[in-house]
Amino acid sequence: MGKILSTLGIAGFFCMVALGIIGCSNGSTSIDDRPVLVCFGDSLTIGTSASNIGKDDPSKAYPAFLQQKVNMQVINAGVSGHTSGDARSRIDRDVINKDPQIVIIEFGANDCLRSVPIENTKENLDYIITRLNDGNKKLYLAKFYNDTVVQSLHTFPDLPILGDFKELANKKNQYDDMFSELASKHSIELIEDIWTGVWGTHMGDPIHPNAKGYEIMADNYFNELLPYLSANNMLR
């Protein structure tokens, strides 16, 4: 009897281990076949300073809060410090290989910080959008700033973390034109403002949100995605 129970116990153990891969008696599987939403961005996507200044915390980044609102797999493909050129080099691995139905593209802040010519940023973003825009994906292009961000830069102290970001105040019109032209050219959605309710109020450092800020930022993104999510039954 003990030998039989032992055998059954072993069999049950292996069944439990395999259940999430191939199923056991009922053929069930834990493979997540929900559509994929990739959040493709930089530190504002990966969650820099959400919990500790200068540290990344994807668990408190906007994609994590967005996951709570949608019936999709939300993949955080953010990398702190990445420029549009860095994004271009990893688009296949981090986005296309995930076979997403929705992609949010958020780059440009580090280009600005490092004084990358806007023409180069535009070329890189154009390449990224062209690679993704195959007719099977819903694409959103997000600005990394809003009017409040730009206006406040005039009063910012000289801090190393800002680099040349303060120059955004002088380049705003050029960035506005770049984002608008890319969205129009590719017929994709332009997210004008991810910062409402966040900037200057819920900040982890001078230019990144804290956890509460990222939660509000997720709401801002969600409101932009809501019409498409509702039409495609992708809400929780």
- What are 119-128's pLDDT values in tens digits? 999 999 999 9
What Rg, from alpha-carbon coordinates, does the chain have? Answer: 21
Residue 221 and residue 142: Cα distance in Å, rounded? Answer: 9
> Are β-strands 203-205 and 208-209 bridged in parallel, bridged antiparallel, or unpaired?
antiparallel
What percent of the chain is helix, strand and coil (3-state, nearest 5)?
Answer: 50, 15, 35
Residue 139 and residue 123: Cα distance in Å, rounded? Answer: 17
SS3 178: helix
- What are 7-42's pLDDT values in tens digits? 445 544 444 444 444 344 455 556 889 999 999 999
| Secondary structure (DSSP) of 9-62 | HHHHHHHHHHHTTT-SSS-------S-EEEEEESHHHHTBTSSSTT-B-GGGSH
Name the residue with tokens 């801090």: 159
- What are 178-220's pLDDT values in tens digits? 999 999 999 999 999 999 999 999 999 999 999 999 999 999 9
32-231 architecture in CATH?
Answer: 3-Layer(aba) Sandwich (3.40)
Q: How far apart, in Å, are the Cα atoms of 117 and each of 87, 106, 112, 212?
A: 16, 17, 8, 33
- Position 9 scores a pLDDT of 52
- What are 42-72's pLDDT values in tens digits? 999 999 999 999 999 999 999 999 999 999 9
The domain locations on the chain are 1-31, 32-231
SS3 78: strand
> Are β-strands 36-41 and 189-191 bridged in parallel, bridged antiparallel, or unpaired?
unpaired
Q: What is the mean pLDDT of the chain?
A: 89
Cite the beta strand spans of the chain per DSSP E: 36-41, 73-78, 102-106, 138-142, 189-191, 203-205, 208-209
Report the predicted TM-score, pTM, of the whole model to 2 decimal places: 0.86
Asked whether residue 137 carries a pLDDT value surpassing 80, the answer given is yes
Residue 28 and residue 80: Cα distance in Å, rounded? Answer: 38
Contact present, 152 and 203 (Cβ < 8 Å): no
